[in-house]
């Protein structure tokens, strides 16, 4: 009997995973139908990842724009809950991500586990920030007149994110979480060499109450997908974290055309506490004047 069970187990075919893009809450293949081979740090084949075309990028922007109103309009508290939910879902699939990160970055199992834990903690960290950032970078301004003068941070809009090339998971989370924590929507280009943890993250996001289109994940050649996104008139900002010097310069020139906010690549230690710079980089400050005083006497609040 036990021999028989063993035999069936030996005969079982391995189930390969088809990695797909994450766009608009769905998991499409690349419109172009292309894939490219992804290998681990030693050069062994891991899987085929979709090689996105500029049309996939265009579709992702449409999805991100569609999702923007709802996500920016959601309460900060609600966004925080959803970001925390992402951490919860990641915790449940921790083993999978430890394996994928270990393969992608050539880390030992223990080190990969530490990276995944740090990434999960990062979601929790930004989940806490969603309803606090407005108090840090906004507030009442002192003015010499009968007015309330209030500044509040507003999300910029659709942000293109070139995820870091080396830190394929912790780096990715560290650049995506601050963008969406403040109410932006993101089009993310995953690490070119090791996109698999990013594509798997899409599956986590899809089951975390995150509305479809808030995060869209593309894999492929950054040099091919990023220029149309940098020139896209409906993209409001671009984070160049994963671009090399030549590409970053090219993208910054293209992004200047409609005055995108640009976050230049800079050396970052992704294991350190991040600070709020990545959030404020994609916030705009709205200042409003409210008349006070005599109107209050007539019974109106303002």
Binding mask 234-253 for another protein (x = CB under 8 A): xx------------------
Residue 261 within binding range of another protein, rule CB under 8 A: no
Order of strands across the sheet with 139-140?
139-140, 147-155, 283-291
Residue 69 within binding range of another protein, rule CB under 8 A: no
Q: Please report, for residues 62, 149, 288, the alpha-carbon distance to residue 298 in angstroms, rounded to integers and kept in the order given.
A: 47, 21, 22
Q: Which is nearer to another protein, 73 or 291 (CB)?
A: 73
Distance CA(280)–CA(268), nearest Å, equals: 16
Phi, psi angle pair for 13, to nearest 5°:
-75, 145
Residue 264 within binding range of another protein, rule CB under 8 A: no
Please state at what angle helix 76-92 crosses helix 109-129, rounded to 10 degrees. Answer: 170
Residues 194-233 close enough to bind another protein by CB under 8 A: 228, 231-233
Q: Rule CB under 8 A: choose which of 65, 111, 261, 264 binds another protein.
A: 65
Q: Which is nearer to another protein, 172 or 255 (CB)?
A: 255
Closest CA to 190 of 170, 163, 211: 163
CB of 300 to another protein, least distance (A): 29
CB of 27 to another protein, least distance (A): 23
Q: Rule CB under 8 A: choose which of 37, 88, 209, 257 binds another protein.
A: 257
Which structure tokens are listed for 258?
Answer: 């409609």
Number of residues that bind another protein (CB under 8 A): 10
Closest CA to 107 of 122, 120, 117, 92: 117
Cβ atoms 130, 87 nearer than 8 A: no
Which structure tokens are listed for 48?
Answer: 């085929």
Q: Rule CB under 8 A: choose which of 26, 29, 34, 58 binds another protein.
A: 58
Residue 34 within binding range of another protein, rule CB under 8 A: no
Q: Which residues bind another protein (CB under 8 A)?
A: 58, 61, 65, 228, 231-235, 257
């Amino acid at each position: 009997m036990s021999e028989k069970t063993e035999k069936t187990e030996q005969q079982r075919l391995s189930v390969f995973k088809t990695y797909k893009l994450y766009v608009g809450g769905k998991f499409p293949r690349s419109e172009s139908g292309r894939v490219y081979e992804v290998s681990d740090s030693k050069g062994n084949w891991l899987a085929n990842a979709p090689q996105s075309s500029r049309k996939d990028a265009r579709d992702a922007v449409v999805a991100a724009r569609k999702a923007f109103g709802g996500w920016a309009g959601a309460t900060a508290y609600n966004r925080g809950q959803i970001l925390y939910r992402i951490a919860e879902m990641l915790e449940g699939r921790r083993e999978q991500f430890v394996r994928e990160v270990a393969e992608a970055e050539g880390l030992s199992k223990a080190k990969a586990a530490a990276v995944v834990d740090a990434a999960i903690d990062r979601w929790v960290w930004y989940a806490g920030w969603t309803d606090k950032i407005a108090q840090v970078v906004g507030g009442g301004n002192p003015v010499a007149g009968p007015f309330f003068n209030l500044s509040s941070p507003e999300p910029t809009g659709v942000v293109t994110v070139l995820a870091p090339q080396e830190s394929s998971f912790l780096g990715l989370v560290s650049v995506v979480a601050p963008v969406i924590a403040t109410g932006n929507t993101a089009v993310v280009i995953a690490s070119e060499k090791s996109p698999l943890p990013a594509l798997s993250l899409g599956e986590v996001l899809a089951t975390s109450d995150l509305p479809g289109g808030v995060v869209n994940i593309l894999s492929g050649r950054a040099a091919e997908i990023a220029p149309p996104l940098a020139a896209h008139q409906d993209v409001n900002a671009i984070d160049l974290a994963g671009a090399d010097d030549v590409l970053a310069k090219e993208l910054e020139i293209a992004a200047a055309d409609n005055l995108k906010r640009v976050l230049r690549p800079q050396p970052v230690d992704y294991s350190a506490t991040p600070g709020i710079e990545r959030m404020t980089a994609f916030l705009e400050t709205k200042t409003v004047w409210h008349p006070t005083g005599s109107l209050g006497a007539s019974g109106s609040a303002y």
